[in-house]
Amino acid sequence: MDPLDKAVLASLYLSNIDPNVAALERLRYRLPLPEEIYKGRIGKLADLGFIEQNDRPKLTFIGRDALKVVLVGGVFDLIHPGHIRTLKAAKAQGDILIVVIARMSTAAMIKKDRIIYHDEKLRADLVSSISVVDLAVIGREGTLYDTVEYIKPDIIALGYDQAHSEKEIAANCQKRNLNIRVIRLNTQVPRTKSSKIKEELGEFFYRI
């Protein structure tokens, strides 16, 4: 598929997930595209059956199948080289990278003694600024699978040190009739773990 056509499909998909930003505006974050060219591509893709045209164009099943969506989840309280390498490796697995930012309550359930310095909105803003990330969303209240069911990615990519089990995640997705591939990324960077950095620098780092 033509890269511009795929970029148009991706912008429509992302704006369906996050309607606060229109598809053309979202596309222009990465590509300064004139509106007339954008509309022309929309018309072409609609004729090919990739887009359903109405007041707010959206992808058909064919259009959605043309994209490979990768989902990564985490707290992302202190961005470090390990995060960047993991996100780059995840993006290389597909066309769209969506990062789910854990809520304060969710992060506390995973690790009760965890100290989190930034709230979820700020963490989402930080992750959104990373070029390989197409969209950062705050996880839904409830379980991880409520968010997964909403996004419906093709791949869930786990970091090398995340405690989640690939088999358990895949099994829980299947229970919700979600056919999702779960992979483990091998992108370890020695000594660049958030817990290690916080242990060595502690709160003093945030008082500089």
Query: How is domain 3-65 classified at the architecture level of CATH?
Result: Orthogonal Bundle (1.10)
What is the model's pLDDT at position 56?
85
Domain ranges of the chain: 3-65, 69-203
Q: Is 70 exceeded by the pLDDT of residue 188?
A: no
What is the model's pLDDT at position 62?
97
What is the model's pLDDT at position 107?
64
What is the model's pLDDT at position 89?
94
Region 180-186: what's the mean pLDDT?
92
Confirm if 67 and 6 have CB atoms less than 8 A apart: yes
What is the model's pLDDT at position 208?
42
Classify domain 69-203 by CATH number: 3.40.50.620
Long-range contacts of residues 179-183, Cβ cutoff 8 Å, at least 24 apart: 180/148, 180/152, 180/153, 180/154, 180/155, 180/156, 181/154, 181/155, 181/156, 182/155, 182/156, 182/158, 183/93, 183/155, 183/156, 183/157, 183/158
Higher pLDDT among residues 97 and 144, named by residue: 97
Indicate the pLDDT class of residue 197, thresholds 50, 70 and 90: low
Separation of alpha carbons 61 and 51, rounded Å: 9
pTM comes to 0.86
Task: Identify the CA nearest to 33 among candidates 10, 55, 52.
Answer: 10
Mean of the per-residue pLDDT values of the chain? 87
What is the model's pLDDT at position 22?
94
